[in-house]
Chain A
């Protein structure tokens, strides 16, 4: 290694060690991309060809037939729709609640500031399986009014509930996501808001603004970068949730795509080529988000792990 001190010269001459380093990194990248590339490759091959010439073989036909079959047979569009119905309100509500708490605990001095913050943060770190048994019972015994539904195609999205319970309802999944993820968002946003001087709040109060207005008009706009990062991250996490909807949803066709995968293997993904197509389809939305919003993504993660 020659000169490349941080902040120093950008492109160092290619010394043997550099070559070695790049060689190592390129090899690792190859290793890293391979499973995904293999999934894409398998998904584009018809099953008959894999059977005939083995799964490790040069391609004869490459087409989208597996995707078309999976898309139609497994009714994938509806599962994406289920995901959207859960994730959009989920992300919005988690961010609203978290920003409100973070605002209250950072801009004002309360006796219980630290405890509130700890309860939220620790709650988010618990393994979900620790709370699932009582939560499951709670969902089965919480009455929720059924207020009709919005119908899209053959699917029907109940407003609040279609069985008078929290169990087996979109709203139930949204609720647990919001509460669980509020923990993480609160932690991140409170770290962020600590850097905002209390002067702002104080002077606004003196000017006669009420607390709600200060949160909405003064503090939230300042938090836009953090909110954008968190929204990206939370979208991905809620999209990727497998457990909550697996347990708290009864009807398989109400499950978001990630949880629905569990029952698609064997039933619709009748061979590995179709399994590959299903996996790729399920992976596309978060990968798109990642490609478009990589910066937000990484910032969201690091905001959470490091202080401020």
Chain B
């Protein structure tokens, strides 16, 4: 699977006899051959000849989870039987894919690749590392609601991504736990706090959290800031048009501090999976997270027991926006793939194929956290949970992509906002203004975005 290109393979008759795998070769010969091979490799400064096999599309995929991988394999199989073209998947684990995306796109990337809409998609479009696909979008846009049309565009107005799935962030819980204690779904902030108090009395951790990786807490910041200060302020704040020292941000942190007593201790040393597992095990009552946490609900009956409610209203004018994080995953076309310089048609045929509901369902069936985006998706196979998830997104008047997709990566990352939020969560009752000053100072020392 490491070999990204069948067509590039060359048959060298001597390989069978000289490779170190052949035990007949003496030790000395092996050493000689090894030395000669690596030297030759170093000296040879000529590019290999790449001839793409007709009708093959390569795809860089960050769906590295076993279930998601199965889903992507199903898509590849369906693509083959539907168009005759081959989809060759190069799966890279999620974290590495993100860390090394820029070098990947600057090197010899695959033809198409999975990525995120929002600032992060526009960034690579601006850098000239993505191919505009307006013609593909024109063919498939009838299959998307209007809301997606802005999400797929770069700063230059061209289309750079085909939306393939999305998922809401909300408050997840187990129905059976709520039933056993006769809890009611809270719709206001006060209800939420009261529910937390009750859960604490009942010996539950009210709100699970596992923030070792730094980004899970950003989801809670997003939703409180959206409810309290509105979509426009939130987006302007994340893109530097508002100051982190703004009293409205102070208000967000103070509000959040009312919730933090209900977090588990040890959240900074546990991963989100471990945090979600405490909900699975009925040790914790709720968790603010994305729908993809459903992958942790893998035991028998677990998934049917999972439910969620949208983050409660805070009694501000912005409640009506019903805004929430609902990140859209897209598939983009790279610029520097050697195959694309010869022929774009196979890659485009794949994008068109993936824009169909029937294709997107193949991933969804294996990884129920990723809701198809296409309008023609057969929703009869949706579980009540998934139907509800699609519903709260369509009810939302404003949709954000998530903190680290709406802001610049050097601000949102590990040595940046992730650290600041961990600092806040350690002493949430302290005056946040000093920390806000640090956030602004950090933003100010970042270089101007090109």
- State yes or no: do A and B touch (Cβ within 8 Å): yes
The chain A residues found within 8 Å of chain B, CB to CB, are 51, 73, 88-89, 92-93, 96, 136, 140, 142-151, 154-165, 167-168, 171, 174-175, 178, 250-254, 262-263, 265-268, 270-271
Q: Which of A89, A136, A143, A267 contacts B93 (CB 8 A)?
A: A267
- B24 within 8 Å of A (CB atoms): no
Q: Which of A88, A178, A252, A265 contacts B271 (CB 8 A)?
A: A265
> Separation in Å of the B363 CB from the closest CB of chain A?
17
Q: Which residues of chain B in 84-102 are interfacial with respect to chain A, using CB atoms and an 8 Å cutoff?
A: 90-96, 100
User: By CB atoms of chain B within 10 A, which of A92, A144, A145, A150 has the most?
Assistant: A145
CB-CB contacts of B46-58 with A at 8 A, as 1s and 0s?
1110100000000
> Contacts A160-B41, A175-B42, A270-B273: A145 and B93 contacting too (C-beta < 8 A)?
no
Interchain CA distance A163-B48 in the complex, whole Å: 9
Q: Is the CB of A92 within 8 A of B2?
A: no
> Separation in Å of the B112 CB from the closest CB of chain A?
16
Q: Which residues of A contact B106 (CB under 8 A)?
A: 140
Interchain CA distance A92-B31 in the complex, whole Å: 7
Q: Is the CB of A89 within 8 A of B91?
A: no
Q: SS class of chain A's interface: helix, strand, loop or mixed?
A: mixed
> Contacts A148-B10, A162-B2, A162-B5: A250 and B100 contacting too (C-beta < 8 A)?
yes
> Contacts A167-B107, A266-B273, A267-B64: A162 and B4 contacting too (C-beta < 8 A)?
yes
10 interchain residue pairs of minimum CB distance:
A146-B48, A156-B3, A252-B93, A263-B93, A145-B48, A148-B9, A163-B108, A143-B47, A148-B10, A156-B2
Chain B residue nearest in CB terms to A171: B41
The chain B residues found within 8 Å of chain A, CB to CB, are 1-5, 8-12, 15, 19-21, 30-31, 34-35, 37-38, 41-42, 44-48, 50, 64-66, 90-96, 100, 103-104, 106-108, 213, 271-274, 277, 281, 296, 338
Interchain CA distance A155-B46 in the complex, whole Å: 26
Q: Is the CB of A149 within 8 A of B2?
A: yes
Q: Which residues of B contact A266 (CB under 8 A)?
A: 213, 271-273
> Separation in Å of the B46 CB from the closest CB of chain A?
6
> Contacts A140-B103, A252-B93, A263-B96: A148 and B41 contacting too (C-beta < 8 A)?
no
> Separation in Å of the B243 CB from the closest CB of chain A?
32
> Contacts A156-B2, A171-B38, A175-B38: A253 and B9 contacting too (C-beta < 8 A)?
no
Q: Which of A88, A146, A156, A250 contacts B20 (CB 8 A)?
A: A88
User: By CB atoms of chain B within 10 A, which of A161, A163, A171, A254 has the most?
Assistant: A163
Interchain CA distance A150-B20 in the complex, whole Å: 11
Chain B residue nearest in CB terms to A174: B38
> Contacts A51-B281, A148-B12: A156 and B44 contacting too (C-beta < 8 A)?
no
Q: Which residues of A contact B96 (CB under 8 A)?
A: 250, 252, 263
